[in-house]
Amino acid sequence: MRRYHAASDGPLVFVRYETCAVGVLSSAPYLACLNDPTPWAREAQPNFLANSRTVCVREGWAESGTAITIRLRAAGPLASPALDWAGLSNALMQMPGVVGAESWRADAGRTTAATDEMRLGGAEDSHVDHAVIVHVRDLDAARSMVAAGLPARWLAGFSAETISYQLAAALFYNMS
């Protein structure tokens, strides 16, 4: 789990959870936990507003203390267009301050499983079709990249929301 805090306008927190396989997030034991929220979750969850939870399959890997999230949604009513990840990642890696990038493609079947914990928020979670996480050297590099504009050629067919975050905490554990 990594928790990032916003360094620009947008959602205040970006939290990413990593599992050994996306199937863990739709497994019976995991769903049983989400359908039996703890007392803390019952108290806290209604305070988490405008959640965007999407189960994704990741391509690429990078890590840094500053990340830019590019949340992509299909621009039209049709299914999400294909993202040219090879072209986009090459273009991103040419930009000053970029240390790596990840492509997160939504797994719609696992994302839409409604649970008791999700219902505590009072509003349905939003989802993204695709996300690109760009890891940069520091906040100045993030600001420069956002100001320069994204490689639009590779984002055709998507509407994009770009937000910069700084790492606040990281927790690693193995449940095996």
| pLDDT tens, position by position, 2-39 | 888 888 777 788 888 888 888 888 889 988 998 999 99
Map out the domains of the chain as residue ranges: 2-170
At the topology level, CATH places domain 2-170 in Alpha-Beta Plaits (3.30.70)
> What is the band of 79 on the pLDDT scale with cuts at 50, 70, 90?
low
Q: Which amino acid is at 131?
A: A
Across the chain, where does the E strand assignment appear?
A: 2-6, 13-16, 56-59, 66-74, 98-106, 130-136, 158-170
The pLDDT, as a whole number, for residue 171 is: 67
39-52: per-residue pLDDT in tens? 998 998 888 877 88
Instruction: Give the C-alpha separation, 166 to 159, whole Å.
Output: 23
